[in-house]
């Protein structure tokens, strides 16, 4: 009876994602204004920090320069990595460069990739991938739906075509909804024009998943579902706090590194050629009443990053 209930729950999540995604693709509303013809500035920009994008750097109007279609960042990532469950795992420290690219092809629909260059190959826990990728609608505005496909599983550069296909099916399809704090409440806590509070309600579904023995299981209606809520509070001058909670309708499908909750904080400036400092702890965390497979896991095992943004 319990299996039947959870199968129905999975079916509801799958149909909800497909219904909302179908509605969204059938009624694409273009939020962006027509692109201006370059050059909208009266003189060349020579102050690097005042440059908006690579067109201001190179002073050319070609190769999609200045169209805001391509953006991303380069970051240095570090943190402790626990290898093996239990009280005495092997300890390594990650040292990696990451290259993030966002290619926006229409409205807020984009294809996104993250590639890592790890300088300590021993720091290779199951939740650390060589690369990740996603495609979907990512609209930051209030009262907007987002949907698409994301793959953050343990992708490796050495994977062959068969393994890549298996891991592709372990990625998840998602739908989410943005809800910001009302203007009246925001005014009461506002410290500057960056102050904001945003909630994101989300549901995810993966057709395949790894069980506790690392065997692949799943299917169209027997996959892995997750629902949750995240919140991001930008306090002052792009300094933020964030957290998220997750619920697994079929808890036995929760992997050892799947979190009950995540958290992070830092300073993030989305503008081009700006540096940001962030921290995020996105794996393993468990509520006190749930079993903790990695007892030594803690704050130091999160991801510390120094980020440099660019806009093409």
State pTM to two decimals. 0.84
Beta strand ranges found along the chain (DSSP E)? 70-83, 90-106, 109-118, 131-137, 145-151, 172-180, 196-206, 208-210, 216-218, 224-236, 239-247, 261-267, 275-281, 303-311
Domain residues for the domain of 105 are 2-30+69-311
Residue 63 lies in a domain: no
Q: What pLDDT is attached to residue 17?
A: 60
- pLDDT tens, position by position, for the chain (312 residues)? 545 445 655 665 655 565 554 544 444 444 554 445 445 555 678 787 788 888 888 888 778 888 889 999 999 999 999 998 878 899 999 999 999 999 999 989 999 999 999 999 999 999 999 999 999 999 989 999 999 999 999 999 999 999 999 999 999 999 999 999 988 999 889 999 889 999 999 999 999 999 988 899 999 999 999 999 999 999 999 999 999 999 999 999 999 999 999 999 999 998 899 999 999 999 999 999 999 999 999 999 999 999 999 999
Distance CA 238, CA 267 (A): 6
Which sign does the torsion angle of CA 12, 18, 21, 27 carry? negative
Q: How many domains does the chain contain in total?
A: 1
Residue 62 lies in a domain: no
Distance separating alpha carbons of residues 215 and 228, to the nearest angstrom: 25
Per residue, what are the HEC states of 189-228? Answer: HCCCCCCEEEEEEEEEEECEEECCCCCEEECCCCCEEEEE
Q: Is residue 37 part of a domain?
A: no
Looking at the DSSP bridge assignments, the partners of residue 210 are 216
Residue 46 forms part of a structural domain = no
The verdict on residue 59 lying in a domain is no
CA 114/CA 248 separation, integer angstroms: 26
Task: State residue 19's pLDDT score.
Answer: 52
* Short-list 95, 75, 97, 53, CA closest to 308: 75
Neighbours of 217 (CB within 10 A): 13
Query: What pLDDT was estimated at residue 42?
Result: 54
In a domain, 120, yes or no: yes
CATH number at residue 137: 2.40.160.40
Q: Is residue 257 part of a domain?
A: yes
């Amino acid at each position: 009876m319990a299996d039947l209930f959870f199968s129905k729950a999975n079916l509801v999540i799958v149909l909800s994602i497909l219904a909302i995604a179908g509605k969204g693709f059938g009624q694409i509303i273009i939020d962006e204004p027509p692109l201006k013809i370059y050059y909208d500035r009266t003189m060349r920009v020579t102050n690097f920090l005042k440059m908006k994008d690579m067109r201001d750097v190179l002073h050319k109007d070609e190769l999609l320069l200045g169209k805001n279609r391509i953006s991303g960042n380069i970051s240095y990532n570090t943190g402790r990595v626990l290898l093996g469950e239990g009280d005495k795992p092997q300890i390594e420290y990650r040292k990696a460069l990451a290259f993030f690219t966002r290619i926006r092809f229409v409205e807020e629909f984009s294809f996104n990739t993250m590639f890592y260059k790890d300088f300590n190959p021993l720091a290779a826990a199951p939740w650390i991938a060589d690369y990740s990728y996603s495609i979907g609608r990512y609209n930051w505005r209030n009262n907007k739906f987002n949907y698409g496909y994301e793959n953050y599983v343990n992708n490796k550069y050495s994977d062959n075509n068969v393994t890549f296909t298996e891991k592709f099916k372990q990625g998840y399809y998602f739908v989410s909804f943005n809800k910001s704090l009302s203007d009246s409440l925001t005014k009461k806590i506002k410290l500057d024009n960056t102050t904001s509070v945003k909630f994101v309600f989300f549901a995810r579904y993966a057709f395949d998943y790894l069980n506790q023995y690392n065997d692949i299981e799943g299917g169209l209606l027997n996959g892995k579902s997750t629902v949750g809520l995240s919140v991001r509070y930008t306090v002052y001058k792009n300094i933020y706090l964030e957290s998220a909670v997750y619920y697994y309708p079929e808890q036995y499908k929760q992997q050892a590194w799947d979190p009950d909750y995540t958290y992070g904080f830092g300073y993030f400036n989305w503008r081009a050629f700006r540096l940001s400092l962030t921290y995020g702890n996105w794996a393993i965390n468990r509520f006190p009443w749930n079993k903790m497979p990695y007892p030594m896991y803690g704050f130091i095992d999160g991801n510390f990053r120094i980020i440099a943004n660019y806009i093409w």
